[in-house]
Amino acid sequence: MPSPQSQDRFQIAVLPGDGIGPEVMASAREVLLAAVDRTPNLTLECTDYSAGAEEFQRSGDPLPASVQDACRQADAVLLGAMGLPHIRWPNGRELTPQIDLREIFQLYQGIRPARLYHEADCPLKGCGAGEIDLVIVRESTEGLFSSRLQPTDANADSVEDRLLVTRARSEQLFHAAFRLARQRRNHLTLVDKANVLPSMVFFRRIFDEISEQYPDVATERVYVDAASLFLIRRPQDFDVLVTENMFGDILSDQAAALVGGMGMAPSADIGDDLAVFQPCHGTAPDLIGQGIANPVAMVLSAAMMLEWLPGTASQQAGAAIRQAVERVLQDPRLRTPDLGGNCSTSRITAALLDALG
Ligand code: ATP
């Protein structure tokens, strides 16, 4: 992490990506720069880089080495969305440079908050604003994604995926989750499948060991199938949840659905040396070019980036963006079509800029 100075100046590598990525990035950039402009002693230098499926069509590489170097040298990375269903590797797999980044930079903490800003956005009855306020910490470098790059023989009789859990990575993950719980409501839920899978018995044992170092944090252990049910029945009870890669992938989409869908779900992929901030959603090919993508997830991801950067100035700018989102979403007419509204991306952006004051 970079160290704070009196004039805080940060280099941000911006990867708008594919599909609606550049559209939501344009919105977030306006809001981000407006918030920074209004904050004394804070400068962001944002530089764009091309990566993703369209870059693959241009250069044959979705994540060129020069872009990786730029990310390595930046203080943080802001990413839109990457991959398009019709652009694939010769073996048929979709391009996923956003997942490659997590592995290259060992961004093991997938931080995925879900917060309900207005009851109208929740499909459940009786959930008020702020009542759903949870964070899923998804392990993002191993688990059931660990053999994703292995070649597949299409003519084989069987294909196997491996669920990898290492002690070192799990310890790092659980420490991060406990620290996050301490900054919030002091409650941490382990989500696993320790009743069936040996890897998950191991995962739980490590969790139990680490939990002894955090006696002030209340813990519970829930199987992933039950967690999925509890997330619908009593989402208000959750604070921080920590889980394996694939379980976190699925549960975080479910949590997003509780607060308005993918357009409302920001995320951060954090490692020990770098962090990438991006919305949970993909490139939404059905919406490209229509100007109706919901920019809120991307804007909130930019706020998470500011809050992750060191120093009070960036904290202040991040909080200002969060408050602007809160203010805008209080008016249920200010919604893009994914939330039943008829606002364009630029209308929501203008409302956010107004709300920043
Ligand atoms: P990925 O596998 O890359 O995560 P996906 O296939 O799961 O992508 P997404 O692109 O995340 O799909 O989104 C699924 C659908 O949700 C989209 O097709 C779109 O209709 C809707 N959606 C996603 N993001 C947004 C957004 N920001 N605004 C409006 N609708 C969205």
Q: What is the pLDDT of residues 208-261, one digit of tens each?
A: 999 999 999 999 999 999 999 999 999 999 999 999 999 999 999 999 999 999
Mean pLDDT score, 78-105? 93
Give yes or no: residues 224 and 95 share one domain.
Answer: no
> Among residues 231, 264, 297, which one ends one of the domains?
264
Give yes or no: residues 39 and 127 share one domain.
Answer: no
Does the pLDDT value for residue 168 go beyond 90?
Answer: yes
Sequence-ordered list of residues with C-beta below 8 angstroms from that of 190, at least 6 positions apart, any chain: 203, 204, 207, 219, 220, 221, 222, 241, 242, 243
Give yes or no: residues 121 and 260 share one domain.
Answer: yes
For residue 115, give the nearest of 3, 244, 280, 228 by alpha carbon: 280
Ligand 1 geometric centre to CA of 84 (Å): 11
Domain-located, residue 156: no
Q: Pocket of ligand 1, candidates 280, 281, 287, 349: which has the most ligand atoms within 8 Å of its Cβ, to mutate?
A: 281
Model's pTM, two decimal places? 0.95
Domain-located, residue 157: no
Count the domains in the chain.
Answer: 2
Give yes or no: residues 284 and 202 share one domain.
Answer: no
> Among residues 213, 235, 264, which one ends one of the domains?
264
Give yes or no: residues 139 and 253 share one domain.
Answer: yes
Domain containing 94 equals 1-108+271-357
Mean pLDDT score, 73-80? 98
Give yes or no: residues 92 and 134 share one domain.
Answer: no
Domain-located, residue 104: yes
Please tell me the distance from the alpha carbon of residue 271 to that of residue 273, in angstroms, as a whole number. Answer: 6
The domain that holds 119 is classified in CATH as 3.40.718.10
Residues in the chain: 357
Residue 5 — pLDDT band, cuts 50, 70, 90? low
Does the pLDDT value for residue 99 go beyond 80?
Answer: yes
Please tell me the distance from the alpha carbon of residue 9 to that of residue 252, in angstroms, as a whole number. Answer: 32
Supply the pLDDT for residue 95: 93
Give yes or no: residues 193 and 222 share one domain.
Answer: yes
Contact 105, 75 (CB under 8 A): no
Domain-located, residue 154: no
Give yes or no: residues 41 and 136 share one domain.
Answer: no
Q: Is the CB of 52 under 6 A from ligand 1?
A: no
Give yes or no: residues 141 and 234 share one domain.
Answer: yes
Give yes or no: residues 209 and 339 share one domain.
Answer: no
Mean pLDDT score, 46-62? 96
Ligand 1: which residue has its CA nearest to atom 20? Answer: 284
Give yes or no: residues 297 and 345 share one domain.
Answer: yes
Q: Is the CB of 262 under 6 A from ligand 1?
A: yes
Domain-located, residue 170: yes
3-state DSSP: the chain helix, strand, coil percent, rounded to 5?
A: 45, 20, 40
Domain-located, residue 225: yes
Supply the pLDDT for residue 303: 98
> Among residues 264, 282, 313, which one ends one of the domains?
264
Domain-located, residue 283: yes
Strand partners, 65: none
Domain-located, residue 155: no
Give yes or no: residues 99 and 47 share one domain.
Answer: yes
Q: Is the CB of 294 under 6 A from ligand 1?
A: yes
Mean pLDDT score, 276-287? 97
End-to-end CA distance of the chain: 30
Ligand 1: which residue has its CA nearest to atom 8? Answer: 282
Percent of residues, the chain, with pLDDT higher than 90: 92
